[in-house]
Structure 1
Amino acid sequence: MIIEKVMGNIETSDNLAPHSERVYLESGDLVKRIQRVTTDHGREIGIRLRTATDLKDGDILYMDDKNMIVISVLADDLLVICPQSIQQMGEIAHQLGNRHLPAQFERNEMLVQYDYLVEELLQQTGIPYRREERKVKQAFRHIGHSHD
């Protein structure tokens, strides 16, 4: 079976099949348009997306009236940064931006993939953080940039 488009997402779709198979992906695999994966029921499928869109947690790759195949993202090792002021947010955002480190934001938290150097920086600056295994909804994506 070759999947060429996402059929929806379980969070926003109304009519879901009664049985589901899961494809477990690391967050970095969400940006791949072409890949071979295996469901938790042992079914091999190919993904070859026609459009350049990132996959997301809960995306439905296949569905009929009895079964569906859904993406589940594996948890990442993250630093969850919780600045307590706009000053702290500006300082850490500036430092991480200089390192071209991709970040995501949920509520009042900044999420970055674990890096021991960033953890040392957070300890030195006194910005509150914790290390946590957490599932992210989308891939960490580097933003293209060059210093001309």
Structure 2
Amino acid sequence: MRRAHTARKAGTWPAARQAGTVTLSYLERHRRRLRLVTDQGEPLLLDLAKAVLLGEGDGLELDEGGFVEVRAAKEALLEIRAGTAGLARLAYHLGNRHLPIQLLPDALLIRDDHVIADMVRGLGGEVRAVTVPFTPEAGAYAGGHDHSSRFEDE
């Protein structure tokens, strides 16, 4: 089984050395050690020194050389729009529940949860089911939005 020992952020690894791709959900992209299957059907062991949040286009360096490119999987999400509530107010209530949230210019994305959807509607928000990649904010204690803090040696 191939082993990926180091994660490199998008744009910092040589694309010419790409040896495959792996499509992962948001939860799968925040791991240290996990058995995966590449999009080409080959087993792969993710074996990092510490857990990192992998993003779209990041590269996993393989023991034998080469890289596997990370792709963000499409997931069942809820797109939340303000309606009569105001987007900042909805974001406050969602954040108060410690939910991972992806901020868009005019909407919020969260993982599908019917209880939270009902709460948002009760607050005057509009909710629509979507299936798209999920890349929520890293949070204040995860180094902010500067992706360079995701990797130990860069």
TM-score range, shorter chain: 0.7 to 0.9
Match of 2:105 in 1: 107
Amino acid at match of 1:69: V
Match of 2:69 in 1: 70
State the secondary structure of the residue aligned to 2:60: strand
> Which stretches in structure 2 are left out of the alignment for 5+ residues?
142-154
Give the conservation status (yes or no) of the 8 Å contact 2:36–2:43: yes
Give the conservation status (yes or no) of the 8 Å contact 1:62–1:68: yes
Amino acid at match of 1:106: L
Say what the alpha-carbon RMSD is for the aligned residues. 3.0
Determine which structure has the larger strand proportion and give its number. Answer: 2
After TM superposition, give the deviation of residue 15 of structure 1 in Å: 4.5
Match of 1:5 in 2: 6
Residues 59 and 41 from structure 1, CA distance in 2 versus in 1: closer, same or farther, beyond 3 angstroms? same
In percent, how many aligned pairs have the same letter?
22
Q: Stretches of 4+ moved more than 3 A in 1?
A: 137-141
Match of 1:35 in 2: 34
TM-score relative to the length of structure 2: 0.71
State the secondary structure of the residue aligned to 1:102: coil
Query: Which has the larger Rg?
Result: 1
- Please give the per-residue CA displacement for 1:67-126, whole angstroms capped at 9, x wherever unaligned: 6421122111111112268x6224323322333222121223211111111221232233
Give the conservation status (yes or no) of the 8 Å contact 2:32–2:52: yes
**Inter-partner Cα distance in structure 2 for 1:125 and 1:97:** 14
- Please give the per-residue CA displacement for 1:45-81, whole angstroms capped at 9, x wherever unaligned: 2111124421112211137xxx642112211111111
State the secondary structure of the residue aligned to 2:131: strand
> Which stretches in structure 1 are left out of the alignment for 5+ residues?
144-148
**Inter-partner Cα distance in structure 2 for 1:22 and 1:35:** 15
